[in-house]
Chains A and B, each alone.
Chain A
Amino acid sequence: KAGVTQTPRYLIKTRGQQVTLSCSPISGHRSVSWYQQTPGQGLQFLFEYFSETQRNKGNFPGRFSGRQFSNSRSEMNVSTLELGDSALYLCASTETPLALEDNEQFFGPGTRLTVL
């Protein structure tokens, strides 16, 4: 099976712009989670989607949003970009909702977002 794929891999934006990142989970996986990774804050949970529904959300402002499509592919959007949004955004997929005990998250390579 192909692994989790994320596009684009690298992105440069300027402050005030918006950006959309895409994640395709492993075939058959219906749960997609997003994480932000920065040197200062480390890895922080953004949100999880399962069957097109947001199941859980981390402590991020409303500028961060996401959605999931019927084929389980997910997108996350960041509006009104700030310098502090520069980060590696990781997507991870599981077969079942992350809350279930016996599952394993598989991570994608990430999208490196730079905000100038």
Chain B
Amino acid sequence: GNSVTQMEGPVTLSEEAFLTINCTYTATGYPSLFWYVQYPGEGLQLLLKATKADDKGSNKGFEATYRKETTSFHLEKGSVQVSDSAVYFCALSASGAGSYQLTFGKGTKLSVIP
């Protein structure tokens, strides 16, 4: 079946530090890949997505590249801010039948300190 494995947290960084959160996946075919973010007290929000190999998703300074050869979709940001403190979830939706269903990783909690 489909699965997503992401770096366990929590991760604590100082403001302006470089962020990487690793995500690898197992899926048949050509899944779409997503990063969702959950800020304290809020619902899940789509951060970025990529729908085919070598696509780069980007938003709010975050980037992730769909690497089919390594089945990875690592999240990066060059300079984090305190406001980036949140839980980050990597997710996939399979191609074909059942493509509406998202499979999530366990989440990585990021805390950014001033």
Chains A and B come from one and the same complex: no
